[in-house]
Structure 1
């Protein structure tokens, strides 16, 4: 099962794959159960994984920057109080 496939949550590349998968499922009502759309599905999983990994990297970088700013403010506060 995929995560939420709402278009505003994904890149244009993944949105294209989402549209292809939905179209494949619509066109192949019964063949989709025997693997007709599996290749598109695999590509979509790869794309979603790439997005997720990129989000993890970005969030980690932002957290490190935020922690650095906090450390600097603490050092400034210690200088002022001493």
Structure 2
């Protein structure tokens, strides 16, 4: 089984997928003799490009989110360091 092809993610491949559906509708023998193979290769190429574009967008979004989170963590560490330094100075003064 494969996932549904006619989805919003694959809208740019709709025309080629429809041509493949029409080719398959001509009958089993027509399809079994390899008459739809060229169209199937075109569908695979189109879907591959679409998948690559989605993956690239997901990676870019993940990098941007990670960069934003790293900045927030850096700000929190900067706020925590003075409090930690002040605590270390007080404990050192108490020992003397």
TM-score bin (small chain): 0.7 to 0.9
Rg comparison, structure with higher value:
2
Q: Which 4+ stretches in 1 moved above 3 angstroms?
A: none
Higher RCO structure (Cα 8 Å, ≥6 apart): 1
Structure 2: unaligned runs, 5 residues or longer: 83-96
- 1:41-73 Cα distance to aligned partner (Å, 9 max, x none): 000000011111111211111111111000000
User: Does the CA-based 8 Å contact 2:20-2:39 persist in structure 1?
Assistant: yes
Structure 1: unaligned runs, 5 residues or longer: none
C-alpha RMSD of the superposition: 1.6
User: Does the CA-based 8 Å contact 1:28-1:36 persist in structure 2?
Assistant: no
What TM-score results when the alignment is normalised by the length of structure 1? 0.85
Number of equivalent positions: 81
